[in-house]
């Protein structure tokens, strides 16, 4: 890929570290940057990696214990630890990276179109079985990553932390130590103080709980009784290896979407999706190492012909009040521009099939456009309006 003459990133962003030193060993960005960009394939994005740390999962879990404040979440956590004696594998590590926002570029309109699927289900984190496929799942993040994991609400973000419980330890680490990554999925442009997305990607966490949320999702969770919680709890053994893209959607808008709002959403998704693709080989190494009994890390000489699949859903809808059509259109465009092999929308049910059909039609009309600016202007002309939050 040829290096472009213009910058691919916005200006520097602020990141304020927490006040204490780490209790565990950390592999830092000086080493990780070379491991992630070991070839020249994505060299033009090298400086877009803002921060990175790799941590041993067992050390992280033992030194930064999860702190669930809500009694129902504490009950689930106790089931996992006291009844099932959970402890992360000592041979597994977790990678957390934070990225400067990439300026969306339409690489080529001659590329094969991203495969787009809609499934009326929820995330199940099951692999497609192809070891050359790296799968990523959206975390519908807050601007302060996992900040409310211990409280009474059980929305998408909190559910992921409860099921992938070492993420709770990661939150404790990020909030208690001096670290280079920080917990902010939104930063500030150092020159104009405008908000800019800074997606955080987490490679190689493990899902150890499968919680049936049919009757306990959202605000209802805090009122569930112990019998309901025990019935909903299922141990995942062996654990499922999960990779996450944490991005926060804009919220609480009114009227029609502006150019700035649409550009922000596209930049956010494009950066998160492209970063997932860039991390494919490093993530593949970590995923394979975690699942191999001989614990031999794959060689850099192994093929780099990876497929990237993004699993997403109604990101930014519901509590944040975004328009469903615009969130589908922008994610499809971002995946296409980033040359993602496949994006799967998990829609829970068929309730919004009309929105899906309209969004697909719009995407097909826009995907061959040559300029991002022109795409945004055409989206503006659709006069899509913000919806109301459902307060979940």
Q: How far is CA 102 from CA 245, 250, 264, 329, 337, in A?
A: 15, 17, 11, 19, 12
3-state secondary structure of 186: strand
Global pTM reads 0.92
Rounded to 5 degrees, what are φ and ψ at 159? -65, -45
- pLDDT tens-place values along the chain, 392 residues long: 333 333 444 445 544 444 578 889 999 999 999 999 988 889 999 999 999 999 999 999 999 999 999 999 999 999 999 999 999 988 999 999 999 999 898 876 556 789 999 999 999 999 888 889 999 999 999 999 999 999 999 999 999 999 999 999 999 999 999 888 999 999 988 788 889 999 999 999 999 999 999 999 999 999 999 999 999 999 999 999 999 999 999 998 999 999 999 999 999 999 999 999 999 999 999 987 666 544 455 455 444 689 999 999 999 998 899 999 999 999 999 999 999 999 999 999 999 999 999 999 999 999 999 999 999 999 999 999 999 988 77
Contact at 8 Å (CB) between 98 and 145? Answer: no
Q: What does DSSP assign to residue 250? A: P
CA distance 120 to 152: 27
Half-sphere exposure of 28 (CA within 13 A, CB side): 7
Beta bridge pairs of residue 116: 343
User: Which residues are CB-neighbours of 167 under 8 A, at least 6 positions away?
Assistant: 146, 149, 160, 161, 202, 205
Q: Residue holding tokens 């040829």?
A: 2
Domain ranges of the chain: 26-294+311-381
User: Which residues are CB-neighbours of 35 under 8 A, at least 6 positions away?
Assistant: 282
**If 0-12 CB within 10 Å is exposed, 13-18 middle and 19+ buried, where does residue 122 land?**
middle
Tell me the two tokens of residue 347.
Answer: 């829609």
Contact at 8 Å (CB) between 171 and 149? Answer: yes
CA distance 167 to 238: 18
């Amino acid at each position: 890929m040829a290096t472009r003459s213009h910058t691919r990133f916005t200006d520097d962003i602020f990141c304020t570290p927490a006040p204490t030193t780490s209790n565990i060993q950390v592999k830092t960005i000086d080493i990780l940057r070379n491991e992630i960009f070991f070839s020249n394939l994505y060299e033009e994005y090298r400086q877009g990696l803002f921060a990175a740390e790799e941590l041993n999962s067992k050390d992280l879990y033992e030194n930064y214990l999860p702190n669930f404040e809500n009694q129902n979440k504490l009950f689930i956590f106790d089931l996992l630890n006291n009844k099932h004696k959970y402890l992360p594998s000592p041979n597994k590590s977790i990678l957390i990276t934070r990225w400067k926002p990439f300026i969306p570029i339409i690489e080529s309109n001659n590329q094969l179109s991203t495969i787009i699927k809609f499934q009326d289900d929820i995330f199940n984190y099951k692999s497609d079985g192809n070891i050359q496929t790296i799968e990523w799942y959206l975390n519908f993040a807050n601007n302060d990553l996992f900040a409310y994991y211990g409280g009474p609400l059980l929305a998408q973000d909190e559910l992921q932390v409860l099921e992938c419980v070492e993420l709770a330890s990661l939150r404790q680490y990020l909030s208690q130590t001096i670290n280079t990554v920080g917990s902010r999925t939104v930063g500030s442009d150092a020159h104009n103080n405008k908000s800019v997305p800074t997606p955080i990607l987490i490679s190689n966490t493990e899902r150890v709980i499968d919680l049936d949320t049919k009757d306990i999702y959202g605000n209802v969770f805090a009122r569930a009784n112990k019998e309901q919680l025990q019935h909903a709890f299922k141990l995942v053994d062996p654990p499922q290896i999960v990779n996450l893209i944490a991005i926060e959607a804009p919220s609480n808008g009114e009227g029609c979407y502006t150019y700035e709002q649409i550009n922000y959403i596209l930049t956010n998704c494009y950066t998160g999706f492209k970063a997932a693709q860039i991390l494919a080989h490093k993530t593949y190494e970590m995923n394979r190492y975690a699942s191999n009994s001989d614990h031999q890390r794959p060689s850099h000489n192994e093929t780099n012909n990876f497929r990237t699949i993004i699993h997403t859903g109604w990101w930014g809808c519901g509590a944040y009040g975004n328009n469903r059509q615009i969130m589908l259109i922008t994610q499809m465009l971002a995946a296409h521009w980033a040359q993602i092999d496949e994006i799967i929308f998990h829609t829970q049910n068929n309730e919004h099939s009309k929105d899906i059909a309209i969004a697909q039609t719009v995407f097909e009309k826009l995907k061959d456009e040559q300029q991002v600016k022109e795409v945004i202007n055409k989206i503006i002309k659709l006069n899509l309006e913000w919806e109301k939050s459902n307060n979940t």
